[in-house]
Amino acid sequence: MLRNSAITGYDIPGLRTNLVASLYADDTTVYLRESDSYATLLSILQVWQRAAGAKFNVAKTEIIPLGTPEFRERLIRTRLLCDGDTEIAAHIRIARDGEATRVLGTWPGNKVDGPGLWAPILEKITKKLDAWSKLNPTIDGRCTLVQIYVGGYTQYLTAAQGMPRSIELKINKIISDFIWAGTKRHPINIDTLRKSKDEGGKNLLDVAARNQAAYTVWLREYLSDEGARPTWAYLADVILALNARKADGIKTPLDARYNPFIQDWKPNNNKLPFILKSMMNVAKTFGVVADAPYVPDEVRLQVPIWSHFAREHPNASQHTKEARCLRKNHHVYLVDGLDELAELDNPHHTGENDCNCQNCQYDR
């Protein structure tokens, strides 16, 4: 009902349909753009309730404003998504800047304190380990408990939102204090304990390595084939493009930036959200680049023609009127598109600038 309604949602480049809603079990997230109507959403929910014979818990509805700071401030102040719309009920919470909202175990929000979100988890870990420490477990037992509680309590949020470096350091200290029962002298180096038993270690949880593995999964999903890419990857394309390095931003127009891994531009990592910054750092660490001993023709044709990573003249302008025409009027983005456009099999084509064949007239 939501996807077939008058609600427009978000038009994300690369996605075949607008992002209107995401559903998981009994949790529903609806995406309204500034021109959408909150009243329309309420009417859809009422119809659904009558048809399903169930009740939608509107009282638990929470709203996270997205957009410019001015738009977010206006929405909170007026409680109106757009002029003439139904006012959002007073009991419904609209998250302010700095306030996180729980969504499927994650805590998104505007200008949210990333490390602050981890305080309850750190407290929970500390309480569990303190309780076990009173039973004086062996070193092997302590390593197992670290895996159960530290690894178990942090894995989901890390996979969903990443772990700030400051939290990683705090957790490492919690682990070290627990392993050695709070003593200042450690007879065995922590790095040795993290090694496998075959290498003389104890398989102690390596938080940094586990986090890096999570970021590698993000990278793998981002680089998946088009049919397998998650929705967030298309949003990431836009964010990366908007934050291209200054020099790359000058030579590559915004509408020609698609994917920094298969083009010759790169984003400014310092301007990226934490998740994307971590993903790009992992790619740099492991040297992820577009390089293969052989690339089939069908793959070559699907590579972006703009800022092609193998072009011979990397500083050639892509701002010419011809280049803009190809992107705007002919929608040429891939090598395949340019190859198709260049196939002039019209017998009346002369190859001159003033050629009057049907194809050339259409192009002009």
Task: Kindly list the domain boundaries of the chain, sorted by start residue.
Answer: 1-112, 115-205
Q: Please indicate whether residue 241 or residue 297 has the higher confidence score (pLDDT).
A: 241
- Please give the pLDDT value at position 198: 94
Confidence grade of residue 347 (pLDDT, cut at 50, 70, 90): low
Is residue 220 within 8 Å of residue 286, measured between CB atoms?
Answer: no
Distances (CA, A) of 146 to 142, 153, 206: 6, 10, 10
Residue 357 has pLDDT above 80, yes or no: no
Confidence grade of residue 363 (pLDDT, cut at 50, 70, 90): low
Is residue 235 within 8 Å of residue 12, measured between CB atoms?
Answer: yes
Residue 339 has pLDDT above 90, yes or no: no
Q: Which stretches of the chain are DSSP H helices?
A: 38-52, 69-78, 119-133, 139-145, 152-161, 165-179, 190-193, 207-222, 231-242, 246-251, 274-285, 297-300, 321-328, 335-342, 358-363
- Please give the pLDDT value at position 351: 66
Q: What are the pLDDT digits (tens) for 306-333?
A: 999 888 887 788 999 989 999 998 889 9
- Please give the pLDDT value at position 140: 96
Is residue 114 within 8 Å of residue 274, measured between CB atoms?
Answer: yes
Residue 158 has pLDDT above 70, yes or no: yes
Is residue 233 within 8 Å of residue 275, measured between CB atoms?
Answer: no
Give the mean pLDDT of 298-306.
91
Of 200, 221, 320, 209, the closest CA to residue 279 belongs to: 221
Confidence grade of residue 122 (pLDDT, cut at 50, 70, 90): very high
Range scoring the smallest mean pLDDT among 71-80, 102-111, 244-253, 306-315: 306-315
Residues ≥6 apart with Cβ < 8 Å to 58: 42, 45, 89, 92
What is the radius of gyration, based on Cα positions, of the chain? 27
Tell me the C-alpha distance between 339 and 95, whole Å: 49
User: Using the 8-state DSSP alphabet, how is residue 117 labeled?
Assistant: G
User: Using the 8-state DSSP alphabet, how is residue 29 labeled?
Assistant: E
Q: Of all residues in the chain, what percent carry a pLDDT higher than 90?
A: 70
SS3 percent helix, strand, coil of the chain, rounded to 5, is: 50, 5, 45
User: Using the 8-state DSSP alphabet, how is residue 299 labeled?
Assistant: H
Residue 348 has pLDDT above 90, yes or no: no
Range scoring the smallest mean pLDDT among 82-91, 120-129, 248-257, 341-350: 341-350
The pair of three-digit structure tokens given for residue 140, joined into one six-digit string: 């092997």
pTM over 0.75: yes
- Please give the pLDDT value at position 188: 92
Q: What are the pLDDT digits (tens) for 11-66?
A: 999 898 999 999 888 788 999 999 999 999 989 888 888 888 877 777 789 999 99
- Please give the pLDDT value at position 25: 80
Confidence grade of residue 94 (pLDDT, cut at 50, 70, 90): very high
- Please give the pLDDT value at position 360: 73
Tell me the C-alpha distance between 169 and 175, whole Å: 10
- Please give the pLDDT value at position 2: 74
DSSP 208-244: HHHHHHHHHHHHHHHTS-GGG--HHHHHHHHHHHHTB
Q: What are the pLDDT digits (tens) for 250-300?
A: 989 999 999 999 999 999 999 999 999 999 999 999 999 988 888 898 889
Is residue 263 within 8 Å of residue 309, measured between CB atoms?
Answer: yes
- Please give the pLDDT value at position 276: 97
- Please give the pLDDT value at position 23: 86
Buried b (16+ CB within 10 A) or exposed e, 291-305: eeeeeeeeeeeebbb
- Please give the pLDDT value at position 346: 65
Q: Of all residues in the chain, what percent carry a pLDDT higher than 70?
A: 97
Confidence grade of residue 168 (pLDDT, cut at 50, 70, 90): very high
